[in-house]
C-alpha cells in the first residue's frame, strides 16, 4: 500500500500531484510486466475465464473450441489451431479478439465490450513467450457433476477422536474438520448466554427474569433440554420463524400509488398467519412448499390451505405481466432451489447448464395463474376481508422465449411447454389437468357465501329499522315542543319528511333483502340441474329456471323503484332545508329524480331474466393493456392446468438435489449466524461451495428423512455442542491464525438481533408486549403506540416502520439474508426513541420487583440483575463499580432526587445505558 495515498490527503491541493505520480508509477510497473514475463495463471487465464469460458469451456464448446487449459488452447477447435506459439500475429485467437468487423469479433457483440488493449497485450505477450501453461492443468469440471446438482446421499457420521465433546452427529462432522485443520473448539458458553441464545433464537424474545433465575439455580443440566422443548412448543416460536421465512418468501403487504393497488394483495396477512400456524404445527417443509405453489389444485376448497398461495398472489403487478412472471420465476428458483435462473432471462446461463429457453419453460408453469380474493364466512365485503389466492385462468396463453429478454421481441415460432432444466430432470414431468369441484370455481355456491350476503342485508335492515324508530321519536318530540308557530311548522315539516325518508330507507333495505333471496333462489335453480349432471354449457334455461330468473329480475327492478323513491324523498327533504335562492337548483334535481322513478317503474313491467349474480370471489383486475382501464375479466375455470402441482411435485421430490439443501442452509444460518453455503440463493457453479459439504448433506438427509420436520432440525441444531460454543476468541490465538473467519465453526459467530427482535425484546422486557396473535396488520399511523409484535406491522415496499428500518428491515423485493449493518442511526434510535425512553422505566421497575425484598434498595444487586437480564452476563468488578457509581451520580442530580418522577429515575437510566450496550443487540 502506498502510504502517500491516504484518504485525508485528497483535501490538500498538492494531493492530486501525489496521485498522479502514484498512477503513473502503477502504469510503469504494468508495462514492464508486459514486456518481461506474463504469468499464464495470473494474467491470462483470468481474462479467459471471465470473458470466454462460458462458450468455450465445460459449459459449451462453441466451434469445438475450449479455452480452459493451455493445452486445449493449443489443440484449437473445428477450424484448427487458434494459437501459434511464439507468433502472435499468426494466431487466430488474437485475430478474433482484435477484429474490427463486429461479426468477426470475440467476444461477440452481445456478450459485452471487446477486450481492453491491456488484456489483448497480455494475450499477445503470452503467445509470444510460447503460450505455455502449467503441467497437469485441470480443465473445468463437467457442470453436471457440480456438487449441488448431485443427489443428496446421507454421509456416514465420521468417527472422531474428540468423542466426549460430541453431542450429536452435527458435532462429528464439525470435529472432523477441527482434526483436519488443527483447530480446538472454544469452551461452552455460560448458562446465562445459552438461555438468552435459545430464547431469542427460538421465540425471538429474551428470557423473563423468572426464567433467568430458574436457570441460574438449576441443579443439573436437564434445564437445557426442557427449555428447548418448551420454546419449540411455545406459539411464539411460529411468530419468530415466520418472520425468517417471510424474508425468504418475500412477504409484503400491498402497495401502489395512493389508494391504487399495484403490487401484492389486500388481506395478504392471511398468508402470514398461515405461515405462523404451519410452523407451530410443524407442518412439513415440503408440504408448505406444495401448498404455496399449488394449494388451489391440491385443496381447491380448503380456504385455510388456500391462504398459502398468498406466496404467488403477492407477485401480482397491476401493469405488467412479464415483470410479474419474471419475478415469480426468479424467486421460486432462488428461494426454493438456490438457482439464479433469472440469469437466463436474456441468454443461456453463463455459469450453469441452463438454456435461455429453460427460463421461459419455468415461466410456463405459472403462465395460466392469476390472483383473486375469496369471500370468507361472515364477511361479504371484500374491501374489509377476504382470502387472496391464485387460480389458473389463462389456460391457453402460450409462453414464448423473449429474444435477448426483450418482451417486445418474443420468438413466436416455438411456444414453450413447462419444463425443468435437463440437468435436474431426474424423472419425467407429469402434468395432468385438475378438475375442480363446482364451488371452487363457482365460489358463490359455497354455503357461507350466501349466508354472508344474508347477514349483511339483514344487518342493513336492522340499521334502517333503528333509524326509523329514531325518526319517529324525533317527530313525536318536535310535535310536543312549544315554540313560535312559523318556526314550529317548518321544523315539523322537516321532521315529517325525515320520517318519510327513514320509512323509505327501510323499504329499500327490505326490498334488497327480498331481492337477495329471489336471486339466491334463481341461482340455486340452475345449480340444481348442474349438480344432477344435466346441464350443458350454453344450454337454454328450463321453464322453472326461467321463472326463477324472472322473479329475481323483477325483485331487482322493484328494489330500483324503492331506491328511486328514496332519492326523491331525500331531495324533497333538502328542498325544505335549503334557503329560497337555492331551491330552484334542488327543484331541477327533483324533476330529474321523478323521471328516473318513472323509468324505474316502467322497467318493472318489462319482463326480463337478467339479474345481478351473487359472487363468491373477485378476480384482482389487471391493467396490462391500458393503464386507465381494467383488462377483460379473467374468468374462473372448471379445471386447472395442473402445471403448478407438477412443479411442486418436482421441487419436493426426495430426488431433487437442491430443495432440502437450500432449506437447511437457511435454517442453519438463522441459528448459527452464518450459512454453510455463503451464497444462500446461488447453489450454482458461480456460488460458493459449502466449507463442510458432508454436514450440509447430512442435515438435508435428516430433514427429508424426518418427514421434512423443521422442528426436528431446530432441535438437532440447538442441541449440538457446536451451537453451545462460546463466541469469545479469548485464548484462541492458534485457531485465529488458521481460521480467522470461523469458517470451521470453532466458536459461535455472534449475531446482531434483527430489527423485529430489537423492538420486540425491549417491549417484552418492559412487560408491555401485546401477546395477541394474527389478524390484519397494524397500520403505520398506529405503530408508534402499538405494542404488538413487529411482524404484525404493515410492511410493504412503500411503508416501513422507521424504527425497524434503522436495523436493516427486510426489503420486500429481495431478502435472502438480512443485513447486519452498524450505523450511527441505530445508536440514535436506541438512545433517543420514545420506544426506548418509555420502556426503560418499566424495565427497571420490573427488575426491582424481581429483587428479593431485603435487597430492593441494594444498588449492586440491581446492577447484577440488570446485567444478567439485559445482557446475559454477570458484570465484572469494574462494570459493577462503574454502574453503581453512575447510579449514585444520577441520584444527586435534581431529577434523581425527585424520586419517582419521570425519566430521572436512576435505575431507569441504567437500563437505558444497558439497552445501548453492544451486548444487548448482539446474540453472543
Q: Which of residues 574-633 bind other proteins (CB under 8 A)?
A: 623-628
Q: 376 or 732, CB closer to other proteins?
A: 732
Among 371, 419, 909, 923, binds other proteins (CB under 8 A): 909
Among 572, 814, 858, 874, binds other proteins (CB under 8 A): 814
Which residue, 754, 753, 811, 763, is CA-closest to 783?
Answer: 763
Among 837, 850, 851, 861, binds other proteins (CB under 8 A): 837
Residue 23 found at the interface with other proteins (CB under 8 A)? yes
Among 19, 147, 165, 615, binds other proteins (CB under 8 A): 19
Q: 397 or 688, CB closer to other proteins?
A: 688
In angstroms, the CA 192 to CA 213 distance is 9
Instruction: List, in order, residues 6 or more apart from 276 with CB less than 8 Å away.
Output: 238, 239, 242, 773, 774
DSSP states of 47-62 as a string? HHHHHTTTTBSSS-BG
Site stretch for other proteins (CB under 8 A), options 92-100, 384-392, 682-690, 788-796: 682-690
Binding mask 354-393 for other proteins (x = CB under 8 A): ----------------------------------------
Residue 879 found at the interface with other proteins (CB under 8 A)? yes
State the minimum distance, in angstroms, from the CB of residue 22 to other proteins: 9
Q: 10 or 430, CB closer to other proteins?
A: 10
Q: Rounded to whole angstroms, what are the CA distances from 803 to 7, 341, 794, 800?
A: 33, 35, 13, 9
Burial level of 56, CB count in 10 A (0-12/13-18/19+)?
buried
Q: 54 or 555, CB closer to other proteins?
A: 54
Q: 571 or 810, CB closer to other proteins?
A: 810
Q: List the grid coordinates of 585.
A: 337548483
List phi, psi (to 5°) of 372: -150, 165
Q: Rounded to whole angstroms, what are the CA distances from 194 to 227, 358, 528, 570, 668?
A: 10, 47, 64, 71, 17
In angstroms, the CA 784 to CA 516 distance is 43
Among 823, 849, 857, 897, binds other proteins (CB under 8 A): 823
Q: 410 or 774, CB closer to other proteins?
A: 410
Q: 422 or 822, CB closer to other proteins?
A: 822
- Judge contact between 123 and 98, C-beta under 8 A: no
State the minimum distance, in angstroms, from the CB of residue 607 to other proteins: 41
- Judge contact between 81 and 92, C-beta under 8 A: yes
Instruction: List, in order, residues 6 or more apart from 218 with CB less than 8 Å away.
Output: 191
State the minimum distance, in angstroms, from the CB of residue 736 to other proteins: 7
DSSP states of 65-113 as a string? ---SSHHHHHH-BTTB-S--TT-GGG-HHHHHHT-SSTTT-SS-GGG-S
Q: Would you give the distance in Å from CA 339 to the centre of its chain?
A: 17
Please report, to the nearest 10 degrees, the dihedral formed by the alpha carbons of residues 330, 331, 335, 338 taken in order: 10
Binding mask 252-271 for other proteins (x = CB under 8 A): -----xx-------------
| Residue indicated by cell numbers 452427529 | 169
Number of CB atoms found within 10 A of residue 480's CB: 7
Q: 379 or 799, CB closer to other proteins?
A: 799
| Total of chain residues touching other proteins, rule CB under 8 A | 90
Residue 320 found at the interface with other proteins (CB under 8 A)? yes
| Residue indicated by cell numbers 387460480 | 391
Q: Is 753 left (phi over 0), alpha (psi -120 to 50) or beta?
A: beta
Q: Would you call 253 helix, strand, or coil by DSSP?
A: coil
Site stretch for other proteins (CB under 8 A), options 140-148, 368-376, 692-700, 916-924: 916-924
Site stretch for other proteins (CB under 8 A), options 165-173, 232-240, 610-618, 727-735: 727-735
Which residues in 396-415 contact other proteins (CB under 8 A)? 408
Bridge partner list, 157: none
In angstroms, the CA 671 to CA 612 distance is 55
Which residue, 396, 397, 416, is CA-closest to 356?
Answer: 416
In angstroms, the CA 720 to CA 708 distance is 19
Site stretch for other proteins (CB under 8 A), options 55-63, 139-147, 277-285, 725-733: 725-733
Among 593, 634, 904, 923, binds other proteins (CB under 8 A): 904
Residue 477 found at the interface with other proteins (CB under 8 A)? no
Which residue, 186, 183, 203, 185, is CA-closest to 195?
Answer: 203
Which residues in 54-113 contact other proteins (CB under 8 A)? 112-113
State the minimum distance, in angstroms, from the CB of residue 242 to other proteins: 22
Instruction: List, in order, residues 6 or more apart from 180 with CB less than 8 Å away.
Output: none
Q: Where are the beta strands (DSSP E) in 330-407?
A: 369-374, 387-392, 401-402
Burial level of 180, CB count in 10 A (0-12/13-18/19+)?
exposed
Site stretch for other proteins (CB under 8 A), options 234-242, 469-477, 523-531, 830-838: 830-838
Residue 900 found at the interface with other proteins (CB under 8 A)? no
Q: Rounded to whole angstroms, what are the CA distances from 512 to 201, 453, 603?
A: 55, 11, 17
Q: Would you call 535 helix, strand, or coil by DSSP?
A: coil
Site stretch for other proteins (CB under 8 A), options 175-183, 227-235, 447-455, 674-682: 674-682
Q: 278 or 620, CB closer to other proteins?
A: 620
User: How many angstroms separate the most distant Cα atoms in the chain?
Assistant: 121
Among 802, 856, 857, 897, binds other proteins (CB under 8 A): 802
Which residues in 738-777 contact other proteins (CB under 8 A)? 741-742, 749-750, 752
DSSP, res 337: I
Residue 785 found at the interface with other proteins (CB under 8 A)? no
Among 323, 458, 481, 592, binds other proteins (CB under 8 A): 323
Among 833, 845, 850, 858, binds other proteins (CB under 8 A): 833
State the minimum distance, in angstroms, from the CB of residue 175 to other proteins: 21
Q: 762 or 921, CB closer to other proteins?
A: 921
Q: Where are the beta strands (DSSP E) in 694-847?
A: 751-752
Binding mask 106-125 for other proteins (x = CB under 8 A): ------xx------------
Q: 756 or 909, CB closer to other proteins?
A: 909
Among 141, 422, 489, 822, binds other proteins (CB under 8 A): 822
Residue 10 found at the interface with other proteins (CB under 8 A)? yes
Q: 742 or 783, CB closer to other proteins?
A: 742
Q: 582 or 903, CB closer to other proteins?
A: 903
Site stretch for other proteins (CB under 8 A), options 183-191, 434-442, 583-591, 878-886: 878-886
State the minimum distance, in angstroms, from the CB of residue 95 to other proteins: 24
State the minimum distance, in angstroms, from the CB of residue 366 to other proteins: 18
- According to DSSP, the β-strands at 369-374 and 260-263 are unpaired
Q: List the grid coordinates of 534.
A: 344435466
State the minimum distance, in angstroms, from the CB of residue 903 to other proteins: 5
Q: List the grid coordinates of 411.
A: 420468438
State the minimum distance, in angstroms, from the CB of residue 712 to other proteins: 28
Amino acid at each position: 500500500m502506498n502510504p502517500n495515498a491516504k484518504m485525508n490527503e485528497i483535501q490538500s491541493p498538492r494531493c492530486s500531484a501525489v496521485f498522479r505520480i502514484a498512477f503513473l508509477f502503477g502504469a510503469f510497473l504494468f508495462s514492464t510486466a508486459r514486456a518481461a514475463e506474463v504469468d499464464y495463471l495470473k494474467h491470462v487465464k483470468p481474462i479467459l475465464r471471465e470473458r470466454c469460458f462460458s462458450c468455450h469451456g465445460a459449459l459449451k464448446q462453441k466451434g469445438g473450441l475450449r479455452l480452459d487449459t493451455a493445452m486445449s488452447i493449443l489443440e484449437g477447435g473445428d477450424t484448427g489451431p487458434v494459437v501459434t506459439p511464439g507468433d502472435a500475429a499468426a494466431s487466430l485467437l488474437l485475430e478474433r479478439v482484435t477484429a474490427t468487423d463486429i461479426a468477426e469479433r470475440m467476444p461477440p457483440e452481445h456478450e459485452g465490450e471487446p477486450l481492453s488493449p491491456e488484456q489483448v497485450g497480455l494475450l499477445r505477450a503470452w503467445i509470444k513467450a510460447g503460450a505455455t501453461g502449467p503441467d497437469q492443468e485441470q480443465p473445468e469440471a463437467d457442470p453436471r457433476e457440480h456438487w449441488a446438482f448431485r443427489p443428496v446421499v446421507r454421509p456416514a457420521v465420521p468417527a472422531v477422536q474428540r468423542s466426549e465433546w460430541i453431542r450429536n452427529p452435527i458435532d462429528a462432522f464439525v470435529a472432523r474438520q477441527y482434526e483436519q485443520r488443527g483447530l480446538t473448539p472454544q469452551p461452552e458458553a455460560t448458562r446465562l448466554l445459552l438461555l438468552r441464545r435459545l430464547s431469542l433464537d427460538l421465540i425471538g424474545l429474551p428470557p423473563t427474569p423468572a426464567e433467568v433465575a430458574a436457570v441460574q439455580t438449576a441443579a443439573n443440566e436437564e434445564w437445557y433440554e426442557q427449555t428447548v422443548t418448551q420454546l419449540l412448543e411455545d406459539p411464539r416460536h411460529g411468530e419468530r420463524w415466520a418472520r425468517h421465512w417471510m424474508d425468504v418468501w418475500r412477504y409484503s403487504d400491498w402497495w401502489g400509488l395512493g389508494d391504487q393497488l399495484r403490487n401484492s394483495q389486500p388481506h395478504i396477512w392471511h398468508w402470514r398467519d398461515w405461515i405462523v400456524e404451519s410452523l407451530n404445527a410443524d407442518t412439513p417443509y415440503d408440504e408448505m412448499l406444495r401448498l404455496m405453489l399449488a394449494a388451489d389444485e391440491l385443496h381447491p376448497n380448503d380456504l385455510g390451505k388456500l391462504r398459502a398461495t398468498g406466496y404467488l398472489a403477492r407477485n401480482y403487478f397491476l401493469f405488467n405481466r412479464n415483470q410479474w412472471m419474471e419475478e415469480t420465476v426468479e424467486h421460486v428458483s432462488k428461494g426454493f432451489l438456490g438457482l439464479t435462473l433469472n440469469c437466463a432471462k436474456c441468454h443461456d446461463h453463463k455459469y450453469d447448464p441452463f438454456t435461455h429457453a429453460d427460463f421461459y419453460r419455468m415461466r410456463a408453469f405459472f403462465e395460466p395463474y392469476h390472483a383473486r380474493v375469496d369471500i370468507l364466512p361472515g364477511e361479504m365485503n371484500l374491501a374489509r376481508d377476504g382470502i387472496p389466492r391464485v387460480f389458473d385462468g389463462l389456460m391457453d396463453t402460450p409462453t414464448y422465449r423473449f429474444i435477448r429478454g426483450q418482451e417486445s421481441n418474443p420468438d413466436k415460432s416455438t411456444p414453450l411447454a413447462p419444463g425443468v432444466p435437463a440437468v435436474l430432470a431426474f424423472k419425467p414431468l407429469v402434468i395432468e389437468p385438475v378438475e375442480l369441484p363446482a364451488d371452487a370455481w363457482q365460489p358463490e355456491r359455497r354455503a357461507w357465501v350466501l349466508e354472508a350476503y344474508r347477514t349483511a342485508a339483514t344487518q342493513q335492515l336492522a340499521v334502517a329499522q333503528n333509524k326509523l324508530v329514531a325518526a319517529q321519536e324525533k317527530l313525536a318530540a318536535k310535535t310536543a315542543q312549544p315554540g313560535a308557530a312559523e318556526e314550529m311548522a317548518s321544523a315539523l315539516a322537516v321532521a315529517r319528511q325525515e320520517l318519510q325518508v327513514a320509512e323509505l330507507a327501510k323499504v329499500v333495505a327490505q326490498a334488497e333483502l327480498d331481492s337477495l333471496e329471489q336471486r339466491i333462489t334463481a341461482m340455486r335453480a340452475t345449480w340444481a340441474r348442474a349438480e344432477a349432471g344435466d346441464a350443458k354449457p350454453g344450454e337454454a334455461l328450463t321453464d322453472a329456471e326461467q321463472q326463477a330468473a324472472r322473479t329475481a329480475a323483477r325483485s331487482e327492478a322493484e328494489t330500483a323503484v324503492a331506491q328511486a323513491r328514496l332519492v326523491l324523498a331525500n331531495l324533497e327533504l333538502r328542498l325544505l332545508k335549503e334557503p329560497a335562492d337555492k331551491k330552484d337548483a334542488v327543484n331541477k334535481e327533483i324533476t330529474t329524480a321523478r323521471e328516473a322513478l318513472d323509468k324505474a317503474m316502467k322497467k318493472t313491467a318489462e319482463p326480463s331474466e337478467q339479474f345481478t349474480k351473487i359472487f363468491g370471489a373477485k378476480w384482482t383486475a389487471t391493467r396490462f393493456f391500458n393503464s386507465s382501464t381494467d383488462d377483460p375479466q379473467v374468468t374462473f375455470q372448471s379445471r386447472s392446468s395442473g402445471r403448478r402441482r407438477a412443479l411442486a411435485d418436482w421441487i419436493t421430490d426426495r430426488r431433487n438435489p437442491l430443495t432440502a439443501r437450500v432449506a437447511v442452509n437457511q435454517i442453519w444460518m438463522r441459528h448459527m449466524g452464518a450459512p454453510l453455503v455463503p451464497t444462500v440463493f446461488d447453489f450454482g457453479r458461480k456460488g460458493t461451495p459449502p466449507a463442510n459439504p458432508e454436514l450440509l448433506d447430512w442435515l438435508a438427509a435428516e430433514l427429508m428423512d424426518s418427514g421434512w420436520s423443521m422442528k426436528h432440525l431446530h432441535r438437532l441444531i440447538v442441541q449440538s455442542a457446536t451451537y453451545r460454543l462460546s463466541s469469545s476468541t479469548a485464548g484462541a490465538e492458534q485457531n485465529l491464525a488458521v481460521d480467522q473467519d470461523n469458517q470451521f465453526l470453532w466458536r459461535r459467530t455472534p449475531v446482531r438481533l434483527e430489527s423485529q427482535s430489537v423492538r420486540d425484546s425491549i417491549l417484552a422486557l418492559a412487560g408491555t408486549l401485546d401477546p395477541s396473535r394474527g389478524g390484519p396488520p397494524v397500520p403505520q399511523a398506529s405503530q408508534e403506540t402499538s405494542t404488538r409484535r413487529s411482524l404484525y406491522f404493515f410492511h410493504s415496499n412503500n411503508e416501513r416502520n422507521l424504527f425497524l428500518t434503522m436495523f436493516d428491515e427486510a426489503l420486500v423485493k429481495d431478502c435472502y439474508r438480512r443485513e447486519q449493518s452498524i450505523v450511527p442511526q441505530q445508536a440514535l434510535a436506541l438512545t433517543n426513541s420514545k420506544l426506548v425512553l418509555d420502556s426503560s422505566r418499566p424495565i427497571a421497575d420490573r427488575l426491582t420487583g424481581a429483587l428479593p425484598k431485603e435487597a430492593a434498595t441494594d444498588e449492586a444487586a440491581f446492577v447484577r440483575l440488570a446485567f444478567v437480564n439485559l445482557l446475559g452476563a454477570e458484570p465484572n468488578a469494574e462494570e459493577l463499580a462503574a454502574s453503581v457509581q453512575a447510579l449514585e451520580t444520577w441520584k444527586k442530580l435534581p431529577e434523581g432526587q425527585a424520586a419517582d418522577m419521570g425519566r430521572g429515575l436512576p435505575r431507569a437510566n441504567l437500563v437505558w445505558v444497558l439497552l445501548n450496550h453492544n451486548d444487548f443487540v448482539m446474540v453472543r
